[in-house]
Amino acid sequence: MEPLHRLRNLKSLGDVEMMNFLRGCLVDSKSPDPSVETLLHAFLPHRFVDHTHADAILTLTNMPGGEGRLRDLFGRRVAFVPYVMPGFELAKLCATCFERDPDVEGMILIKHGIFSFGDSALESYTRMIDLVETAEKYIESELMAH
Ligand SMILES: [Zn+2]
């Protein structure tokens, strides 16, 4: 993790340079290529991080006025991150958004998806399920025809 953490001090890092660097950090040469979102995970302090592109979250982030609905729904349970293409810039932006309110359970990335995190795999997973189910119930009660 140490070499990954040092990258945070860079002003910018292109996708090709980033992927070459990440491949150089592999501990098993037969591992698949690291995800473009590896640094996003690495820059968060939690031991466990989950990331999905859950339909219920995207339904709300992608609709006009959706971010406002999500902010009303979740309050300070999650941090909100404006849309940026996945890569180094997004990883740095997510870390900055998280550090503004480190008590959050997760982060909603506008027009991208959702992250949850925790000290255990179960805590992170449970938060993901709960956040997504909260969005599902909201859609059902507020947006679906009765
Ligand atoms: Zn993603």
The CB-based long-range contact list for 107-110 (8 Å cut-off, 24+ gap) reads 107/78, 107/79, 107/80, 107/81, 108/57, 108/61, 108/70, 108/74, 108/78, 108/79, 108/80, 108/81, 109/61, 109/81, 109/83, 110/61, 110/67, 110/80, 110/81, 110/82, 110/83
How far is the centre of ligand 1, averaged over its atoms, from the C-alpha of 113 (Å)? 6
CA of 61 to the centre of ligand 1 (A): 14
- Across the 146 residues of the chain, what is the mean pLDDT of every consecutive 10-residue run? 94 95 93 92 95 98 96 97 95 96 97 97 98 98 84
- Predicted TM-score of the model (pTM): 0.91
Gap from CA of 54 to ligand 1 centroid (Å) = 10
52 CA distance to ligand 1 middle (Å): 6
- Residue 75 CA to ligand 1 center (angstroms) comes to 22
- State in Å: Cα 145 to ligand 1 middle: 30
Domains and CATH numbers, the chain: 2-143 (3.40.225.10)
